[in-house]
Structure 1
Amino acid sequence: MVRLFFVSAFAALLMVSAPAMATGDPLIIAHRGASGDRPEHTLAAYELAIDQGADFIEPDLVVTKDLELVSRHENELSGTTDVAGREEFEHLRREKTIDGQRVAGWFAEDFTLEELRTLRAKERVPASRPANTRFNGLYQVPTFEEIVKLVRAKEAETGRKIGLYPELKHPNFMLEAEGIDMVDLMLRELRNLGIEPSDPIFIQCFEVGTLRRLNQRSDYKLVQLIHPEGGPVDEPEMRYAEMITPSGLAELATYADGIGPWLGYVIDPQTLEQTSLVADAKAQGLAVHPWTLRKENGFLPESLQNEGGPSADGKWRMLWAAALASGADGFFTDNVKEFVALVEQEDGR
């Protein structure tokens, strides 16, 4: 997801045991793991998020040259790994046009899994999270299979169900430019791993056609992501802003089970007052999972920032309390521990 200051879960649709928190509490979705405390999309970030109380963990999925699903924020690797300093991979540096944007760097789809596993993860936003840089170089890029195995191990350890919330990154580009069908890969992987539609899993994407194909070919719960700008790359005539209208939501409900909107669509960024989106979406039977709850100044609007620069904590409690009051079904957050504490405080526990 994009780096913006704003932030979903319909437990009745999930054939799982009750969440650890009180009935009616929103689902807590660990955005790329506990990414406020560890470099995102690492097994360490996912495990810490589970230990802190997350109901779901969210891996962004990209593809290797040999068709393995791995977890990175983007298919371009230099922002999240040490690849730029690895001379042995200099020959793999490329320029590609991805979703209309020219991007230079190293791309997961040009690496075999064996090659990718020699890289090490690093903090993606060091200015906002300098403390996470001490973990640079410690962790490999995890496969989706490894993430599932981790979740199952933590379920056995804790006795509670932990959900998966994968996002397919740039599937239209991968299909048209690289000839790789991420829908096929996703469904194959879920089948091979024994993950059923009744399990606690949502599949999310910013693209419409990908979700429509998944809806036609499976019964997994699907979430349409909604960006604050532009529109789906595979539907050039469509705008994301149109998706949140009553008629747009009715159309989404024909193929998706929920929406993952930018939080600015749910509460006004200046006044923190609620919009009608949560009620409008629920009227169409759609769950609402906004993104992203973060606490650092660098991710907050100016009116909620404190002194101390981008890495200092801002007035995040005001924003998060307003988000909770919106009635959304769950939230993506980088700071699981703090969100768990806030929900418990709101419950009076």
Structure 2
Amino acid sequence: MQPIVIGHRGASGYRPEHTRSAYELAVALGADAVEPDIVATRDGVLVVRHENEISGTTDVASHPKFHSRRVTKEIDGIELTGWFTEDFTWAELRTLRARERLPEVRKASATFDDRFPLLRLRDAFKLIDRVAGRARRPIGIVAEIKHATYFDSIGLPLDELFAAEVNTAGWNAGDGRLTIESFERSLLGKIYARGIYGKRIFLLEARGKPFDEVARLGLKNAPRYADYLTDAGLYGLSGRIDGISVPKSLILETDADGQVTGATDLVDAAHAARLEIYCWTLRPENRFLAKTFRRGRLRADYGDWQSEFRTILGTGIDGVFADHPDLAVTVRDELAAED
């Protein structure tokens, strides 16, 4: 079984993320699925943005009428200052336009700034239904639900809102198109309890602790992400979720100097525990590559992305998130042809 390629926030290496153009382009470039990040508005509308703080991905700062909405909050234990989706209605957010999050690295994408409006989750479902019909192949959605414990604390239960959207959109047919992922495993359980039966993927960081566990048990007693990545931790997850998704640093084996020497055994360990495993994020620019694969001095230049992608895709991993889906598809297909 070949790994699937998931357009990370669409084709976010080429277009401002979470826009109609980014999703359409991802499918055109061969992605098997796209990944919308999901947050909520004040009036309970689910929108697709990387975070609920939107100063870096929209033109909100250029709207004088919204200047007073700039505030400082603590989100999942981290203090942030900016504009937050939960302080806006959807009617207000729809007046904003999307901008490239990394303009210093992706100058070509930044030329599309202010051209595309924000999308609701329901818009993303309709868009993927439409482009899948044009492509004549099934296209999945890997829905990442953000900051569920925080949103629940302010009266916006994302599990309830998400379940309603999925059912209304006709995406709860059990046809394998829907995957739900979160850094909060408790949310995956709540969504399953609401009768949403998409594949459940637990996102794990290389360090730190899941915020839902911190909120429930306290910082001292909450388990670390690393605890779930041991053999015992993986077997403990088996049967409760369908898989895990990890940063690529946990797939790449490095020596004391930080040079990549191959791949870790995490993929095999996850499969032994009967879990699927995905990783994020495949990107070709030097800024994001392991230093072994960087070439030249400029962080925006492409390095030896082929070698890094081959190392990861050659592990037997079940799927990868890629900002440039065509590049990941190319390497995946090359490896398949070599078998």
Do residues 86 (structure 1) and 35 (structure 2) align?
no
Give the letter aligned to residue 227 of structure 1: E
User: By how many angstroms is 1:216 displaced?
Assistant: 3.0
* 224, 232, 242: which one aligns with 2:202: 224
Residue among 91, 96, 99 paired with 1:119: 96
- Match of residue 230, structure 2, among 239, 245, 258: 245
Q: Supply the RMSD in Å over aligned alpha carbons.
A: 1.3
Secondary structure of the residue that 2:151 maps to in structure 1? helix
Superposition deviation, residue 303 in structure 1: 2.5
User: Unpaired segments of 5 or more residues in structure 2?
Assistant: 215-221
Are the aligned partners of 2:160 and 2:191 in contact in 1 as well (CA < 8 Å)?
A: no
Whether the 8 Å CA contact 1:116–1:141 is kept in 2: the answer is yes
Tell me the residue number matched to 1:261: 246
Q: Is the 8 A contact 1:30 1:332 kept in 2?
A: yes
Deviates further, 279-288 or 47-56: 279-288
**SS of match in other structure, 2:234:** helix
Distance change (3 Å), C-alpha of 1:86 and 1:272: farther
Mapped partners of 2:128, 2:151: distance in 1: 27
Measure the CA separation in 1 of the matches of 2:260 and 2:296: 21
In structure 2, which of residues 165, 176, 179 is the aligned counterpart of residue 189 of structure 1? 165
Q: Is the Cα contact below 8 Å between 1:215 and 1:255 reproduced in 2?
A: no
Deviations 1:237-291 (A, max 9, x none): 1111111111111222242101111112122143242222111111221111111
CA distance in 2, matches of 1:263, 1:297: 15
* Match runs of 1:37-56 below 5 Å: 37-56=14-33
Say whether 1:211 aligns with 2:188. yes
Q: How many residues align?
A: 325
Alignment match, 2:75: 98
Whole-angstrom distance in 2 between the partners of 1:113 and 1:181:
17
Q: Give TM-score, length-normalised by structure 1.
A: 0.90
Give the 4+ runs in structure 1 shifted more than 6 A. none
Mapped to 2, the partners of 1:197 and 1:183 lie a distance apart of 18
Contact map agreement 1:25 1:343 (CA 8 A) in 2: yes
Q: Answer yes or no: is 1:293 the counterpart of 2:269.
A: no
Read off the aligned partner of 2:163 and give its amino acid letter. Answer: L
Q: How does 1:15-26 map to 2 (within 5 A)?
A: 24-26=1-3
Displacement, 1:307?
1.3
2:319 aligned to which of 323, 326, 330: 330
2-side partners of 1:190 and 1:152: how far apart? 13
Q: Tell me how far apart the structure 2 counterparts of residues 306 and 330 of structure 1 sit (CA, whole Å).
A: 26
Contact persistence 1:215–1:256 (CA under 8 A): no
Aligned residues of 1:167 and 1:204 also touching (Cα < 8 A) = yes
Secondary structure in 1 matching 2:47: strand
Tell whether 2:4 aligns with 1:27: yes
Q: 2:267 aligns with which of 275, 278, 281?
A: 278
1:132 partnered with 2:121: no
Aligned with residue 314 of structure 1, among 299, 303, 318: 303
Higher RCO structure (Cα 8 Å, ≥6 apart) = 1
For the residues of structure 2 that align with 1:132 and 1:195, how far apart are their CA atoms?
30
Instruction: Work out the percentage of aligned pairs sharing the same amino acid.
Output: 38
Shift of 1:127: 1.6
Gaps of 5+ in 1: 1-23
